[in-house]
Amino acid sequence: MKNIDRSYANAVRRFIISEVPTMAIDEVVILENSSVLYDELLAHRLGLLPLKTDLERYRLPEKCDCKNPLGCSNCRVLLVLDAHSTDQVKTIYSGDLVSEDTEVVPISPRIPIVKLAPGQKIKLEAYAKLGKGKEHAKWQPVSVSVLTETGKDDEFFLKLESVGSLPPFKILSEATNILYQKLAEVLQKAEEFK
Amino acid sequence: MLIPIRCFTCGALIADKQEEFDSKVREGEDPGKVLTSLKVTRYCCRSILLSSADVIDQVLPYYESLAERRSEFSTE
């Protein structure tokens, strides 16, 4: 980044981490779980699965006009997992999750969720929502967002590594958009006090 | 019990790489080189793949023999 103030560059870096929304499983209704993992542990693992995100299609639950605590088709996605093992130990992968929206699926189908012994069963409904990194790290779109010096004035190197739910360019453009919106909000409030 | 889905430190996805890592290391390849080829470059993620032990594999045999015993019991 050239010809940019350090404070602005750092704001962009921080917005990438904490303000860019991504999709993640937030609520899980467990109908049946006879696996060796506790319900809580299972829900936590599901929450950490990175999901492909479409920011144009979905809205943040607090910004959605449905005002429904359960959400509507514009702010949440239902994923269902129904798996059991019959004769041998079976690994259940993220690919076994069936999503309501074929675009919102885990970024890799080979993430192990749980292993089931013969006779064990898992049946659950998971609700994915958009969320921000400042609320929970599972909604962070990046694993790395670092600003390094180049030695020259007003020039910085921004390194970002996407988790996979959003492409890196989209993350950067979204972060600058949100920053711009927030600054406009501040300006508008300041006008009111004139 | 199972491999963590994401790296504790940086949050990158690591769980989907474990099977390939394990099978290659079992074939005798150098773990460090396998990790690099899987593009796990930071030492936070590398340490988790290197050191995680799937305790679930030690627990499941008990449930397997339980299921076996049950099926025997139902046929008796």
Q: Cβ distance A126 to A81 under 8 Å?
A: yes
- Dig out the tokens for B13 from the structure: 């996805």
How near does any CA of chain B get to the CA of A141, in Å? 9
The domain in which residue B33 lies consists of 15-75
CATH number at residue B24: 1.10.10.60
pLDDT of residue A66: 86
The type of residue at A118 is P
**Residues contacting residue A159 through CB under 8 Å, at least 6 positions apart:** A144, A145, A146, A147, A148
pLDDT at B48: 95
For residue B10, being part of any structural domain is answered with: no
Return the number of other C-beta atoms located less than 10 Å from residue A63's C-beta: 10
Q: Does domain A6-19+141-193 sit in CATH 3.30.1360.10?
A: yes
Residues 32-71 of B with CB under 8 A from A: 42, 56-57, 59-60, 63-64, 66-68, 70
- Bridge-based pairing state of the strands A76-84 and A98-99: antiparallel
The residue of B1, B3, B5 whose CB has the most chain A CBs within 10 angstroms, and thus the best one to mutate to test that interface, is: B5
The domain ranges of chain A are 6-19+141-193, 22-136
Lookup: tokens for A101? 């929206």
- Whether A107 sits inside 8 A of B13 (CB atoms) is yes
Structure tokens at A47: 């929450």
Across the interface, whether the CB atoms of A50 and B13 are under 8 A apart is answered: yes
pLDDT at A70: 81
Question: Do A161 and B12 make contact, defined as CB atoms within 8 angstroms?
Answer: yes
Contact A110 B16 (CB under 8 A): yes
Within-domain flag for B3: no
Residue A22 near residue A165, CB atoms below 8 Å: yes
Q: Which residue of A has its CA nearest to B7?
A: A143
Total domains in the fold of chain B? 1
Block means of pLDDT (10 residues each) for chain B, length 76 residues?
A: 92 94 95 95 95 92 90 83
- The single-letter DSSP state of residue A183 is H
Average pLDDT over residues A138-146: 94
CA B17, chain centre distance (Å): 9
Residues A179 and A173: their CA atoms lie apart, in Å, by 10
pLDDT (mean) for A126-148:
94
- Taking the model in full, what pTM does it have? 0.89
Domain A22-136, CATH number (from 2.170.120.12, 1.10.3720.10, 3.40.50.720, 3.30.70.100):
2.170.120.12
Going by pLDDT thresholds of 50, 70 and 90, the confidence category of residue A67 is: confident
Confidence of residue A38 (pLDDT cuts 50, 70, 90): very high
The string of DSSP codes covering A81-138 is EEEE-SSS-EEEEGGGPEESSTTS-BS-TT-EEEEE-TT-EEEEEEEEEEE-TTT-GG
**Which residue from A80, A108, A173, A191 is spatially nearest to B6, judged by alpha carbons?**
A108
Has residue B5 been placed in a domain?
no
By the 10 Å C-beta count (0-12 exposed, 13-18 middle, 19+ buried), A150 is classed as exposed
B17 DSSP assignment: G
